[in-house]
Amino acid sequence: MTVSTGGSANLGAYRVAERRERWLLQSLVVPGLALIGLIALAPIGWLFWMSVQGSSGFTLDHYQRLLDESYLRTLKTTFELSILVTVLSIALGYPLAYLISQARPRLAALLMLLVLFPVWTSLLVRCYAWLVLLQRRGVVNSWLQDMGIIDAPLKLMHNFTGTTIGMLHIMLPFMILPLYASMRSIDRDYMRAAANLGASPVRAFWQVFVPLSLPGLFAGIIIVFVLCLGFYVTPALLGGGRVYMWSMQIERNVTYYADWGAASALGVVLLALTLGILWAVGRLIGFDRIVGGK
């Protein structure tokens, strides 16, 4: 390369260097993409293919079998539990997120730390804690009996109740975090203005505060509901085999029956439901708002 020929050659060299650098920077994302693509996504494509393969080529039999009553019952349980846990996490999460958002910064930081503590605690530790608390002769039953509230121990685990409590405990922080993020950004002057204009505290809350907190609420609902749909560990432990979730059906088809056709069809349906919900809500309120609210 000759330097003496002046500006245009220099500019050309600069352009080449710039393009090369951009190319280099873009290539930084490749190793991670390769890892995720090869280890996580490619096998899912394979499962997709297996879900439409029978002994004699293409078939939809595996999907047709999902209409069996036993599968439909699993689907119903999964949805019931997911909806119940989502509703309960709103009922418990909204008031707490509201309180934290109104608290002084120091107190708010401390309370958020307490909300985050379970997230950082191992999932199995928390399931174990609930198993210990809820078992027949466990802490909850013995306290209730000592206080004379109940005569005989309640059946609190290895059923729907225990699974709901355990899942609620896991999911609640995922409701509180986006709620808190969106409530904190609400300008307090709005509430002051509402009060000045004669709104009662209750009315100001429902007509001003709640609508402004909706992005966070939606984000929380989606995160919690989608996580619930595919949840495996807590229902498997606290349900004790009596609460049958979609994910457990998948696991059983693989490990007990080695029935990959059914397992992958179940998996594809679960994935389609998950992505479908995310897509629909993303269209409805804008995906950036969900991610941003997180």
Partner 1 sequence: MFSRPATETQITHGRRLWLYVLGGLVILFLVLPSLLVIPLSFSDSRYLAFPPPSWSTRWYGAYFGAVEWRDATRTSLVAATLTMVISTVLGTLAAYGLHTAQSRFARAVYATYMLPLIVPGILIAIGIFLLFARLGLNNTMTGIVLAHSVMAVPLVVITVASGLKGYDMNQEMVARSLGASRLWAFLTVTLPQLKISVISAALLAFITSLDEVVISLFIAGGENATLTRRMFNALRDEIDPTIAAISTLLILLSVVLLGLTQLLQRSPR
Within 25-44, the residues that bind partner 1 by CB under 8 A are 25-29, 31-33, 35-37, 39-44
Interatomic CA distance for residues 158 and 202, integer angstroms: 41
List the x/- string, 91-130, binding to partner 1 by CB under 8 A.
Answer: -xx-xx-xxx-x--------x-xxxxxx-xxxxxxxxxxx
Distances from the Cα of 240 to the Cα of 88, 124, 233, 251, 272, angstroms: 22, 15, 11, 15, 28
| Of residues 14 and 232, the one with the C-beta less far from partner 1 | 232
| Those residues with Cβ within 8 angstroms of residue 262's Cβ, 6 or more apart along the chain or in another chain | 62, 65, 66, 253
Binding residue for partner 1 (CB under 8 A) from 18, 21, 68, 80?
21
Question: Which two three-digit tokens encode residue 85?
Answer: 């846990």
Interatomic CA distance for residues 234 and 163, integer angstroms: 7
Instruction: Kindly state the smallest distance separating residue 157's Cβ from partner 1, in Å.
Output: 10
**Stretch of 17-25, 62-70, 146-154, 213-221 lying at the interface with partner 1 (CB under 8 A):** 17-25
Asked if 171 is part of the footprint of partner 1 (rule: CB under 8 A), the reply reads: no
Binding residue for partner 1 (CB under 8 A) from 87, 131, 210, 212?
131
Instruction: Enter the DSSP assignment of 205.
Output: I
Touching partner 1, residues 142-161 (CB under 8 A)? 142
| Of residues 14 and 128, the one with the C-beta less far from partner 1 | 128
Asked if 236 is part of the footprint of partner 1 (rule: CB under 8 A), the reply reads: yes
Instruction: Kindly state the smallest distance separating residue 12's Cβ from partner 1, in Å.
Output: 20
How would you classify the pairing of strands 57-58 and 53-54?
Answer: antiparallel
Interatomic CA distance for residues 290 and 216, integer angstroms: 7
Interatomic CA distance for residues 130 and 164, integer angstroms: 11
Q: Which amino acid is at 183?
A: M
Binding residue for partner 1 (CB under 8 A) from 75, 270, 281, 290?
270
Residues near partner 1 (CB under 8 A), total: 91
Interatomic CA distance for residues 216 and 123, integer angstroms: 24
Binding residue for partner 1 (CB under 8 A) from 83, 107, 139, 280?
139
| Of residues 137 and 283, the one with the C-beta less far from partner 1 | 137
Asked if 169 is part of the footprint of partner 1 (rule: CB under 8 A), the reply reads: yes
Question: Which two three-digit tokens encode residue 116?
Answer: 């985050």
Asked if 52 is part of the footprint of partner 1 (rule: CB under 8 A), the reply reads: no
